[in-house]
Amino acid sequence: MIISTIVFYALAGVLILSSMMVITSKNPVHSVLFLILAFFNAAGLCVLLGAEFIAMLLVIVYVGAVAVLFLFVVMMLDINFKDLQSGFKKYMSVGGLVGGILLAELIVIYSSWSFSKSAPENIKFKTPDITELSNTEALGRILYTDNLFLFQIAGLILLVAMIGAITLTLRTRDGVMKQDVSDQVNRKREDVVKIVKVETGTGVA
């Protein structure tokens, strides 16, 4: 019990610190790296909760794929840090105002928020006992057995979004030298090599 409490505070502390660093660090590459650290600690918290499948997905999807692309793009940008910081004072008042309003709203909501007594009975899919059913199986049952059609529709919407993004950015340009592998493989000696017998002193016409 003690150990898990210590681990919880360690993970949560590093998570909060690193997410602070994401927005305060001056170098954008450092920001992305802190973001990765934050994801990692969040995954650690999930493991602590017994949600191992979610934790692994978080690492695979966000850290292993999304953050790599972030890092990829940010590393290739040539950012002038002075320019970025110059507008800080100008926008400080507006930004502070928006932030303050949001914070106040959150405080108002959470101070008056209360669950109705019957809320636990209204949950449609209750969390199954972790000793009976593994994480993966429990999630699989909900996604693929109970709610298969909703899940498939969600997938279709994503597919449409993906096709939309591709059609928006697809453009055909003229004059691009394109490789066609079958052309390259089918190239024959007769098509490209011509043997010419050259007389001395005449050259090839």
Partner 1 sequence: MIELLTPYAIQVAFIVLKILLIIVPLLIGVAYLTYAERKVMAAMQLRQGPNMVGPFGLLQPFADGLKLFSKETILPDMANKPIFVLAPILTFLLSLMAWAVIPFGELFGKTLLLSNINVGILYLFAVSSLGVYGILMAGWASNSRYAFLGGLRSAAQMVSYEVSIGFVMVTVLLTTGSLNLTEIVMAERPFWVSVMLFPMFIVFIISILAETNRTPFDLPEGESELVGGYNVEYSSMTFALFFLGEYANMILMSAITVILFMGGWLPPFGIESVLIDWVPGIVWFGLKICMILFIFLWSRATLPRYRYDQLMRLGWKVFLPFSLVWVVLVAGVLLATDSLPV
Task: Note the residues at the interface with partner 1 (CB under 8 A).
Answer: 2-3, 27, 29-30, 33, 36, 52-53, 56-57, 59-60, 63-65, 68, 71-72, 75-76, 134-136, 179, 181
**Residue 27 or 85 having the CB closest to partner 1:** 27
Q: CA–CA separation, 132 vs 17, rounded Å? A: 36
Minimum CB–partner distance for residue 64 and partner 1 (Å) = 3
Angle of the 2-24 helix axis to the 28-49 helix axis, nearest 10: 160
Q: Tell which residue, 58, 46, 53, 43, has the closest CA to residue 135.
A: 53
- As measured in angstroms, the least distance from the Cβ of 123 to partner 1 is 24
Contact 60, 95 (CB under 8 A): no
How far apart, in whole angstroms, are the C-alpha atoms of residue 59 and residue 159? 23
Identity of residue 12? A
Chain centroid, CA 182 distance in Å: 36
Compare residues 6 and 157 and give the one whose CB is closer to partner 1: 6
Q: Would you say 22 or 52 has its CB closer to partner 1?
A: 52
In the bound complex, what is the minimum distance in angstroms from residue 2's beta carbon to partner 1? 7
CB of 59 to partner 1, least distance (A): 4
Q: With respect to partner 1, which residue has the nearer C-beta, 15 or 55? A: 55
